Amino acid sequence: MSEQYPAPQQVERERSARDIATLVYLIQAISLFTAVPFFVGVLINYVKRGDVRGTLAESHFRWQIRTFWYSLLWFVVGWATVWILVGFVVWGISWVWMVYRVIRGWLALSDNRPAYA
């Protein structure tokens, strides 16, 4: 019995997809301190989404895109309620949640696991 090895093109495609997902996690980590890169990261996700279909990085792209949209939602909720001081709590919880998402996703990617277990 001979073992089946993935084609070199598939190996390169997987590596490229992982590299892009890693870059977006890095951008998201930087975004914890300044919001502008967050938009760049999600743009990369949407532009490269088709290229990562069928790879391990596909679930990470979904994870990253959802992290962006839910973070944006909680930012808006926080902004709308900041005048009653609840917004600061919403922003704080959202920031901690985003830290969790970036770390958990990045660790799963580095362990060659999908973002969703």
What are 53-73's pLDDT values in tens digits?
999 999 999 999 999 999 999
Would the pTM of this model clear 0.75, i.e. be above it? Answer: yes
CB 67 within 8 A of CB 101: yes
| Res 38: pLDDT | 95
CB 32 within 8 A of CB 102: yes
CB 75 within 8 A of CB 62: no
Q: What is the pLDDT along the chain (117 residues), one digit of tens a residue?
A: 556 767 888 889 999 999 999 999 999 999 999 988 999 999 999 999 999 999 999 999 999 999 999 999 999 999 999 989 999 999 999 999 999 999 999 999 999 999 987
Listed residue (78, 81, 109, 111) closest to 96, CA to CA: 78
| Res 6: pLDDT | 72
Listed residue (62, 73, 71, 66) closest to 96, CA to CA: 71
Coil, strand, or helix at residue 27?
Answer: helix
| Res 98: pLDDT | 97
Q: What is the spatial distance between Cα 57 and Cα 59, in angstroms, rounded to a whole number?
A: 5
| Res 52: pLDDT | 95
